[in-house]
Amino acid sequence: MKAVRVGLVLLALLLLAGVPWYGSDVLVQFGINTLLLAVLAQGWNIIGGYTGYASFGNSVFYGLGSYGVAIAMVQWGLPFGVGLAFGVALAVVFAFVLGLPVLRLRGHYFAIATLALSQVMTAIVSNVELAGRNIGLVLPPLNNDRLFYELSLALLVVATLAIFWLTRSRFGFGLIAIRENEEAAAVMGVNTTLYKVLAFALSGVFSALAGGVHAYWITFLDPESAFDIGLNVKMIIMAVFGGPGTVLGPIVGAFTLSAISEYLSSAVTSIAGLFFGIVIVVAVVLMPRGLADLLRHLCKTGWRYFIDNIKAHRL
């Protein structure tokens, strides 16, 4: 069974890698967006799915990664790789400096605190001359969608391998212990503060990398788009819909919801904006543990799976 699953994953990876060679330009561009959203969902999965802290601040990491690339390339004339490293460094510093106080909060207090971070960063960057203020920055164009696609796919593979490592490492077990019962984890010897900050930073690394790749791809950056809270909502919905705290759940969620959203945007424009709101309701009420949990239990319990979830949440 394990060999079959590995084979299916490798086959899917080969098919994805070949898209730029047999797919249309529109499909490749859709693929870049979807792959980067999947990376963001995997990054959120570390802090939200495995650690149990519903962060609305990952869009800040995305924005810092974007501005790291833009500032390095436009203002300092440095190559893209150096810009990526600079963006990641900014995200890690931000995670440690603000993670220490913010991660002492829990539940909705933590969510509200991280929600405010995007607005604060938008206001700060809008007044920084180096970042182009409100006008933004225009990056040098590189018309090579194939390169950006393969780079996005490689980034998703690395992020997924990091999640896979979490499921088998002492660090990952510590994060799961914090998610299940933080007080008990501390009693058992888990340094909860250090583990949470490291998870926040690792989550930020992948978000920053995705932001850097996206910024160079679209070649334009401004504070509103870089620190867009709507992007954070999307990554959360995709991770939750696919299955938070699982290896492949966020990827399945990102690909599924991106495809449906793209279809609705082109075919039924009037309700496309309501789509993610409907997904939130369906996911919370009928399958709070995502598609991964649904597929595991649906064959055994059938429709009773949904009824049990409704009863469990007193709905």
Please give the share of the chain, as a percent, with pLDDT higher than 90.
63
**Which of 63-77, 122-136, 265-279 reaches the highest mean pLDDT?**
63-77
Ranges 59-68, 150-159, 250-259: which has the least confidence: 250-259
Q: Report yes or no on 144 lying in a domain.
A: yes
Q: What is the residue type of 108?
A: H
Q: Report yes or no on 97 lying in a domain.
A: yes
Q: Report yes or no on 14 lying in a domain.
A: no
Q: Report yes or no on 163 lying in a domain.
A: yes
Distance CA 10, CA 236 (A): 26
Helices 229-242 and 290-301 cross at an angle (nearest 10°) of 20
143 or 41, which is more confident: 41
Q: Report yes or no on 249 lying in a domain.
A: no
Q: Which helix (H) or strand (E) holds 213?
A: helix 192-218
Tell me, yes or no, if the pTM score tops 0.85.
Answer: yes
pLDDT band of 302, cuts 50, 70, 90: low
Residues spanned by the domain of 153: 23-228
For residue 131, what is the DSSP state?
Answer: G
Number of structural domains (the chain) is 1
Q: What is the residue type of 131?
A: A
Q: Report yes or no on 59 lying in a domain.
A: yes
Q: Report yes or no on 104 lying in a domain.
A: yes
Contact 36, 255 (CB under 8 A): no
Residue 137, CB-side half-sphere exposure with 13 Å CA sphere:
26
Q: Report yes or no on 5 lying in a domain.
A: no
Maximum distance among all alpha carbons in the chain?
Answer: 60
